[in-house]
Amino acid sequence: MISMTRRAALASAAAAVAAPPLARHAAAFTPPPGERPLFGARIWSLPNGMRVAFAPSRRIPVIMQYMFYGAGGGEDPQGISGVAHYMEHMMFKGSRNVPNGALSQRVAREGGNDNAFTSRDVTAYYQQVEASRLALVMGMEADRFAFPLFPADDMEPERLVVLEERRQRTDANPRALFREEFQAALWGRQHWHGRPIIGWPDEIRAIRHADLLAFHERWYAPANAVLVIAGDAEEGELTRLVEQHYGGVAARPAQARDRPAPPAAPPERRLVTRSRAITEATYLRSWVAPSLTWGDADHAWALEVLAHLLGSGQGSLMHEALIETGLATSANAGFDADNVGAGEFSISAIARRGTAPEALEAATDAVIARLLQGGAEPERVARSIRQITAGALLALDGIGAAPRLIGNALASGLPIETVEFWPARIRAVTPEQVTAAARAVLAAPRDCVGWLLPETA
């Protein structure tokens, strides 16, 4: 995750349609004098409540349009997981003025490309085209926003497509299937964090046409949408096109997200499964953690640094303890600060063939114990901060990073500052903060250990 600050304040929209803020976020942050925003995005709102972000880039004559909705797999109704993802598929089935399949065909004829994705927190639809074709894709996306068709006759064929996607990506992949079961063990099978974004197979089969219509009515409102344009556009003309195409989408009140808190304790503290399809054991351990929107949000930035310090390749603690000693072939740690609701801090490793699982687990436990007892070493924290913030330069190399990062933050209820001044936030993290975050999360009994082992019999 690369998150970062604002150059222009959000213009106010009518109170009746304004997107409700999240309950909490990290303390306000003032960037150091002279700190420049990564993208310099301009942000404003239409009277119907839809927010717009424009990140200019004149490097190549290309435009990217992203439409984000503040609803993902975490908003799936209880008992029918996969609705948000199914909705993404059905949004390609035509709208009032754009026949089924025509949007993608027209974009392809212009030499561009389009697609969509569903995460746990957002759903997004995007097109990349030559700069002069922005009006074309904007008109089609606005029509899909306001007048999607959702043909009932397409429900069953598309259900088979979704089930096949699940079969290929998860059911046929023992490690993906294990990770899915591990999430359910940590959070609970019906908790929003424990359900797969694509859905449980039986629940995908239970989704009805009426469920899609209800989901669209609740979440696909202008006040819950963020349009992000990145690339080579003239600001005045862009503003005119946005108002022309999206200003007429009917306003509806935005719905507050209802993300239940994590269970008091994981349903399972340990999960061990076996598979004939693997030859090397996989180790996972995850903890319930704060995020920028839940819990002690001021730990979130320090947890980003902690994840890098623990498991970011050569020089990290886990690399030294597991890979350089020959116990593992890979070792990683991960954390995303910008979750909507509770976060998750995780570590993982793949054991070298011949390594006893208990030896790898003991070595990992020893790394964490030393860190908790002795604290984060200042030199390692400084190194991690240098390497993490260097990634900000990569975000500026093309126009693809800006719309994804800005749209995800705004649609998740975070301020644009979270994106624009992300490097400054990371540079402000101290060794003491990393140590405090580690002790708050890694020493708490809200974790689950998982092993996927080769089947020996």
Q: Which positions are annotated as active-site residues?
A: 88
Structure tokens at 12: 């106010």
> What is the distance between the alpha carbons of residues 256 and 21, in angstroms, rounded to a whole number?
8
CA atoms of 348 and 182, how far apart (whole Å)? 12
As a whole number of angstroms, the distance between CA 423 and CA 441 comes to 23
Place of tokens 């598309």: 158
- B/e letters for 256-280, b = 16+ CB within 10 Å, e = fewer, are ebebeebeeebeeeebeeeeeebeb
C-alpha dihedral over 414, 416, 420, 422, to 10 degrees? -20
Q: State the sign of the Cα–Cα–Cα–Cα dihedral 62, 67, 70, 74.
A: negative
The answer to whether 300 and 337 are in contact (CB under 8 A) is: yes
Cβ burial, residue 165 (10 Å; 0-12/13-18/19+): middle
Please name which of 387, 360, 356, 359 lies closest in space to residue 347, comparing C-alpha atoms. Answer: 360
Q: Nearest Cα to 221, choosing from 256, 176, 177?
A: 256
Q: In terms of residues, how long is the chain?
A: 457
CA distance 119 to 316: 29
DSSP 8-state secondary structure symbol assigned to residue 64: E
User: Which residues, 6+ apart, have CB-to-CB distance to 33 below 8 Å?
Assistant: none
Euclidean distance between CA atoms 410 and 228, whole angstroms = 10
Closest CA to 134 of 233, 249, 240: 233
Residue in 417, 416, 412 with CA at minimum distance from that of residue 53:
416
